[in-house]
Chain A
Amino acid sequence: MKLAGFLLLVAGWAIVVAAVALLPSAGARVGFVLAGLAVELFGLALAVRSHLVLQAEGEGE
């Protein structure tokens, strides 16, 4: 889950960079940048969640 979270963070950033570099129309660019940020937030939530689980497992040992 931790790896997936960080991969989603990077994937969201890649969407943002691609939108800025490749899309000529302002509307599409805005849409893809916001979509990329949404993917990043999902990845961040996953990374946070994975660390909560890891910590709970560590305390249980």
Chain B
Amino acid sequence: MTPFVAPAPPSLSEVSAVFCLLLILLVPFAGVGLTMINSGLGRARSAAHAMLSALCVTAVAALVYVIVGVAWQGAAGRPDHFLMIAGKAWGWIASERFFVRGLRLDLSPAALVVLLQIFSVGLAGLIPLSSGADRWRLGAICASTALLAGWTYPLFAHWAWGGGWLAQLGANCGLGRGFVDGGGSGTIQVVGGVTALSITWILGPRRGKFSAEALPAALPGHNVVLVLLGCGFAWIGWMALNSAGAMLFLGVEPGRVVLIAVNTTLCAAASGLAAGVVTRVRFGRPDASLSSNGWIAGLVASSAAAAFLKPAASMIVGGVAGILVVSVADFLEFQLAIDDPGGAVSVHAVGGLWGVLAVALLADAGPGGQWLAQLVGIATLLGFVLPLSYGLNWLLDRVYRQRVAREGELQGMDLHELGAGAYPEFDVHGDDFLQR
């Protein structure tokens, strides 16, 4: 383990750096959008809890990431630890200092990366919230987010974005440009998505979700308007995220931001419509919440390849994402008895994996071997990040029970944990529509 300096990041002119900064400042809209969707797809009696949880996740993620996460993740061109294998150096963890010491927070690419990552790690932390809705304790949410922001996320982000071994696959093995993931389909979305899967497994399904015969009951979200409005906010944030990520991690010039915004939009549009059509064919009417999940899945899938896709290809990426999200959501619920109220696993994990794969199949990302680099990235997300995330959350559950007590679930998270509901002037219905 020797510190060395990872390959340098692309340099930015002052004008490009300011432009990139402005894009980064729009990224929190993606988090706002996801928060509205999470809250809208949950129960009315847990709406305030969902909103406060999102705020806490964003806060914990930012604090923990700055305290320790930056030190593990680093940035391309910054000090790194590497292993020498077969005569080649493979970076595995950064050697920055805690509390962002030793890094000037100006318009340099490394400083812009830190700012973008503070928002991105919060975004990744919001994803599991939707899978644990209506039964995940606030304290456990904060502790789980600290593990994600302090360890799981920075480690993989270093490998993919910080000049680590996945990014080096091109230089060391001739696999295209190395693992390509400009806007974070894998690094943000799949990392958040597999954490969401871990959380659903650890928490178990909501009470009343499955009958004794394992048949799922419909527990509709309480505010579809909020969900659809959230899609709009997420769209703005995602265009900025994909553009800033491509500039900082792939070195694309600012002029390509137009293509990235067009591709992001087309991908979301095709995905949202595809999900609407699939639900129309299956259920006789388009389903609003699944269509909105389709929209988000399109944004998720667009992130990795938006800088390299042709517009027609981005429509294909989106169309496939829309079909996938509905099919996988059904499969998870009916076949695997996974209760994921907001569809985090189908939208973020599956949509993100598809986005990473789409770079290999449809994007013009550079020299040959790119598809193998993308497969290695997918193997790492499934074979390393999922077990790590599950293991950390399983250990956390041993020392601090993550699921709320039975009476809290029946009462609602708002009253049980916060002492007041989100809608005090309205009747909030209990489980009277469920079979007992």
> From B173, which residue of chain A is reached at the shortest CB distance?
A20
Contact between A55 and B337, CB atoms less than 8 A apart: yes
Stretch at the interface among B60-68, B120-128, B318-326, B372-380: B372-380
- Of the candidates A22, A36, A52, A58, the one whose C-beta lies within 8 Å of that of B379 is A36
| Contact (A33, B376) CB under 8 Å given A6-B390, A59-B210 | yes
Residues 160-194 (chain B) with a chain A CB within 8 angstroms: 169, 173, 175
- Of the candidates B88, B205, B379, the one whose C-beta lies within 8 Å of that of A16 is B379
Number of residue pairs spanning A and B whose beta carbons lie under 8 angstroms apart: 71
Contact between A9 and B387, CB atoms less than 8 A apart: yes
Q: How far is the CA of A22 from the CA of B387 in the complex (A)?
A: 24
**Chain B contacts of A44 at CB under 8 A?**
382, 386
A39 to chain B, nearest CB (A): 8
**Chain B contacts of A40 at CB under 8 A?**
379, 382-383
B221 to chain A, nearest CB (A): 23
A29 to chain B, nearest CB (A): 7
- Of the candidates B201, B336, B379, B386, the one whose C-beta lies within 8 Å of that of A33 is B379
> 1/0 per position for A34-53, CB-CB distance to B under 8 A?
10110010011000100110
**Chain B contacts of A52 at CB under 8 A?**
336-337
Q: How many chain A residues touch the partner (CB < 8 A)?
A: 30
Q: How far is the CA of A36 from the CA of B379 in the complex (A)?
A: 8
Q: Is B214 at the interface (CB under 8 A from chain A)?
A: yes
Contact between A10 and B387, CB atoms less than 8 A apart: yes
> 1/0 per position for A1-31, CB-CB distance to B under 8 A?
0000010011111101100111010100110
**Chain B contacts of A58 at CB under 8 A?**
204
| Contact (A10, B382) CB under 8 Å given A33-B372, A59-B212 | no
| Contact (A37, B212) CB under 8 Å given A22-B86, A52-B336 | no
Q: How far is the CA of A6 from the CA of B391 in the complex (A)?
A: 9
A14 to chain B, nearest CB (A): 8
- Of the candidates A13, A51, A56, the one whose C-beta lies within 8 Å of that of B201 is A51
Contact between B375 and A37, CB atoms less than 8 A apart: yes
Contact between B205 and A55, CB atoms less than 8 A apart: yes
- Of the candidates B214, B337, B376, the one whose C-beta lies within 8 Å of that of A20 is B376
Instruction: Pick from A13, A22, A34, A52 the residue with the most CB of B within 10 Å.
Output: A13
> 1/0 per position for B97-134, CB-CB distance to A under 8 A?
00000000000000000000000000000000000000
Q: How far is the CA of A11 from the CA of B387 in the complex (A)?
A: 11
Q: How far is the CA of A56 from the CA of B383 in the complex (A)?
A: 26
B216 to chain A, nearest CB (A): 12
Q: Is B384 at the interface (CB under 8 A from chain A)?
A: yes
Q: How far is the CA of A59 from the CA of B376 in the complex (A)?
A: 38
Q: How far is the CA of A22 from the CA of B85 in the complex (A)?
A: 7
> 1/0 per position for B345-386, CB-CB distance to A under 8 A?
000000000000000000000000100100110111011101
A58 to chain B, nearest CB (A): 7
Contact between B380 and A20, CB atoms less than 8 A apart: no
**Chain B contacts of A6 at CB under 8 A?**
387, 390-391
> From A24, which residue of chain B is reached at the shortest CB distance?
B86
Q: How far is the CA of A10 from the CA of B173 in the complex (A)?
A: 22
| Contact (A30, B372) CB under 8 Å given A10-B384, A13-B379, A52-B336 | yes
Q: How far is the CA of A26 from the CA of B173 in the complex (A)?
A: 9
A37 to chain B, nearest CB (A): 5
| Contact (A16, B376) CB under 8 Å given A9-B383, A21-B90, A40-B383 | yes
15 A-B contacts, Cβ less than 8 Å apart? A6-B387, A6-B390, A9-B382, A12-B379, A13-B379, A16-B380, A20-B169, A21-B90, A33-B379, A34-B375, A36-B379, A40-B379, A56-B214, A59-B210, A59-B212
The 3 A-B pairs with the shortest beta carbon distances in the complex, nearest first, are A13-B383, A16-B379, A21-B85
Seed contacts A33-B375, A36-B379, A43-B383; 19 additional CB < 8 Å A-B pairs:
A9-B382, A12-B379, A13-B382, A13-B383, A16-B383, A20-B175, A21-B85, A21-B88, A21-B90, A22-B85, A26-B369, A30-B372, A33-B376, A36-B383, A40-B382, A44-B386, A51-B336, A52-B337, A55-B205
